[in-house]
C-alpha cells in the first residue's frame, strides 16, 4: 500500500501545515479538583444563573396563571349577573 502522508521536504516548509491526519483532539477535562476555590466559584456562578433562569420562567408562569384567574373570575361574575343569582350558589 502506498503511503500518501505528506512530509516536510525542507526547513522552509515547517511553517506550513501539511495535514490534519495525525492530529488528535482531546476533550478538555477539568484539571482543577473539587476543592479548588476557583472551580467551586465557577460551579456556583453556573448554578446561580440556572436558578435565576428557572425563577424567571416560574414568574412568567405565575403571571399567566394570574391573568387566567382574573379572566375566569370576571366570566363567573358575568354569568352570575346574567342568571340573576337565582341558579348560582356561591
Residues of the domain holding 76: 32-90
Per-residue pLDDT tens digits of the chain, which is 90 residues long: 555 666 656 665 555 565 655 666 666 666 777 778 998 999 999 999 999 999 999 999 999 999 999 999 999 999 999 988 666 565
CB 1 within 8 A of CB 7: no
Residue 54 in any domain: the answer is: yes
What one-character DSSP code corresponds to residue 40? H
Q: Evaluate whether 30 touches 46 at the Cβ level (below 8 Å).
A: no
Quote the number of domains for the chain.
Answer: 1
Q: Residue 19 domain-assigned?
A: no
Residue 59's pLDDT is what?
96
81 assigned to some structural domain: yes
DSSP state string for 65-88: HHHHHHHHHHHHHHHHHHHTTSS-
In a domain, residue 57? The reply is yes
Amino acid at each position: 500500500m502506498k503511503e500518501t502522508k505528506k512530509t516536510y521536504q525542507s526547513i522552509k516548509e515547517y511553517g506550513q501545515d501539511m495535514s490534519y491526519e495525525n492530529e488528535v483532539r482531546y476533550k478538555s477535562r477539568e484539571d482543577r479538583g473539587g476543592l479548588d476555590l476557583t472551580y467551586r466559584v465557577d460551579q456556583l456562578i453556573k448554578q446561580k444563573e440556572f436558578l435565576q433562569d428557572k425563577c424567571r420562567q416560574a414568574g412568567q408562569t405565575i403571571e399567566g396563571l394570574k391573568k387566567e384567574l382574573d379572566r375566569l373570575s370576571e366570566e363567573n361574575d358575568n354569568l352570575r349577573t346574567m342568571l340573576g343569582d337565582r341558579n348560582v350558589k356561591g
